[in-house]
Copies of this chain bind each other. A is one copy, B any other.
Amino acid sequence: MTIEGVLLDLSGVVYDGEQVISGSLSAISKLRAANFEIRFVTNTTRTPKKAICTKLAMMGLTLEERELFTPVEAARAWLIDNNCVPSELLVHSALSSAFTDLPDGDARAVVVGDAGDEFNYAGMNRAFRALLEGSELLALAKNRMFKDKDGRLSLDAGPFVQALEFASGKSALLLGKPSQDFFASALASIPCPLQRAVMVGDDADADVAGARTAGLGCALLVRTGKYRAGDERRFTPSPTAMVADLSEAADWILAHRLQN
């Protein structure tokens, strides 16, 4: 197992709420110093890309926008490629502007992200009716839960996507992790083949089992962020390795690097 490319989740791996996770910045520096190309892949759909970069810069992590992959860009690209406009947007208001300047299209899609407090019955029901009338169902993410500002777990976009799938009988097209297209486009920008890549995340489902199902060579589960005891046994495939945090993950990656 030799690693050439590194994909890192952000929330729960690099930072937690507004705090940098101890050791994560030096771990990233160490990987960069060893000439690893890193791509940051986040399913966070409450914050636009530019705002994520600004937040990271304030935390001491500098990255270019091209190093950051979010499901919002993937969804915009899919909508344009498929001549499609949103019939209903169930996304956080901070993101809705990302979907307002799309070209006209004949097809329709319901777009679901982590709308958080903005999820309500009326919006869910409009989305359901649009699905019955023929709209596609696009999920920016399908994560079950995330670690909220109060330190407790809260509902992510996934349960609401699942509700609409169950009601309508349609399957959502997933744009973020663990979609193979999403991982593949981040790795193509390095470039690095899937089987030479590692994904590091705190979500045993979307980050770890999902990455391995998508064909990535390995996936490490950190015990920071939303990790709860036993998560490594809740989903299959299981992690390639368990690590305490990003710092230990970096050591693992350096031990498995491609020797030239």
Contact = CB atoms under 8 A, between A and B. Distances in A.
B121 A116 contact: yes
Given A120-B121, A121-B116, A121-B120, A152 B166 contact: no
Interface stretch (A20-28, A96-104, A124-132, A209-217): A124-132
A236 interface: no
A158 interface: yes
Interface residues of A, number: 30
Interface in A132-152: 132, 144-145, 152
Interface string A62-94: 000000000000000000000000000000000
A116 B158 CA distance: 20
Contacts of A119: 120-121, 124
The prevalent SS among residues of A at the interface is: helix
A160 B120 CA distance: 11
Contact of A128 (B122, B124, B145): B145
The CB with the most chain B CB atoms within 10 A, among A116, A117, A154, A167, is that of A167
B155 A159 contact: no
11 contacts: A119-B121, A119-B124, A125-B155, A128-B145, A144-B166, A155-B163, A158-B166, A159-B164, A159-B166, A162-B162, A162-B163
